[in-house]
Chain A
Amino acid sequence: DAMVIQNPRYQVTQFGKPVTLSCSQTLNHNVMYWYQQKSSQAPKLLFHYYDKDFNNEADTPDNFQSRRPNTSFCFLDIRSPGLGDAAMYLCATSRDVPGQFFGPGTRLTVL
């Protein structure tokens, strides 16, 4: 089945220790998104790729970076995680038909 896959599902890191979250998709969608979602809140868009074009949201901290080496994969790098970065990180994709397909998320814990 076509899907959006996120690895790992759970990630524990230490304060200030870089961490990378990954997302892959088999849907061949040209747009990929990274969201941060804190408990019982709406997802907050961090950035998205439209094909190879990177689009950063104005209020996304510099601590968050992203890479998209090819259509199928996208990575979220958190350079120096703080306690406030503990959250669920959602990857989503879309193409021509409006509406996003979400992955299961990676829950990040910062100790």
Chain B
Amino acid sequence: AQTVTQSQPEMSVQEAETVTLSCTYDTSESDYYLFWYKQPPSRQMILVIRQEAYKQQNATENRFSVNFQKAAKSFSLKISDSQLGDAAMYFCAYRSVNTNAGKSTFGDGTTLTVKP
């Protein structure tokens, strides 16, 4: 079974600075998907960024980018120019390509605080 580990329960960053959230995973599969989800306080969870394992290029969505290291089974999220609205709990998730239903395994989350 796959496992996802987020080793940083809490992180903080100064507004306009850059922060990196860590995620490692364990799998024996060669093809899979990785995700970062954002869950602001009392608001719904949204998909921030997605990475296909077969793609070597790191995914980027505006201020959000990932550092995908397949051999090391590492998938970190970098948030550039942090904004107050980035404060949230961030979940890293893994999904096998072998399941049609798209079931994902979630990490325990990292709570990000943005200081003004």
- Residues of chain A touching chain B, judged by Cβ–Cβ distance below 8 Å, are 31, 33, 40-43, 45, 48, 50, 55, 90, 92, 94, 98-105
Contacts and interface: CB of A to CB of B under 8 A. Distances in A.
Nearest to A103: B44
Given A31-B101, A48-B103, A105 B108 contact: no
Contacts of B25: none
Given A92-B45, A94-B101, 19 more contacts: A31-B101, A33-B103, A40-B89, A42-B106, A43-B45, A45-B103, A50-B100, A50-B101, A90-B44, A90-B45, A94-B102, A98-B95, A99-B35, A99-B102, A100-B47, A102-B37, A102-B45, A104-B43, A104-B44
B38 to A, nearest CB: 10
Nearest to B89: A40
A72 B35 CA distance: 25
Contacts, number: 50
A45 B94 CA distance: 13
Interface residues on B, range: 20 to 34
Contacts of A90: 44-45
Contacts of A94: 101-102
13 contacts: A31-B101, A42-B107, A42-B109, A43-B106, A48-B103, A50-B100, A90-B45, A98-B33, A99-B33, A99-B47, A102-B45, A103-B44, A105-B44
A99 B89 contact: no
Pick the 9 closest A-B CB pairs, nearest first. Answer: A42-B106, A102-B45, A104-B44, A94-B102, A98-B33, A50-B101, A99-B47, A42-B108, A102-B44
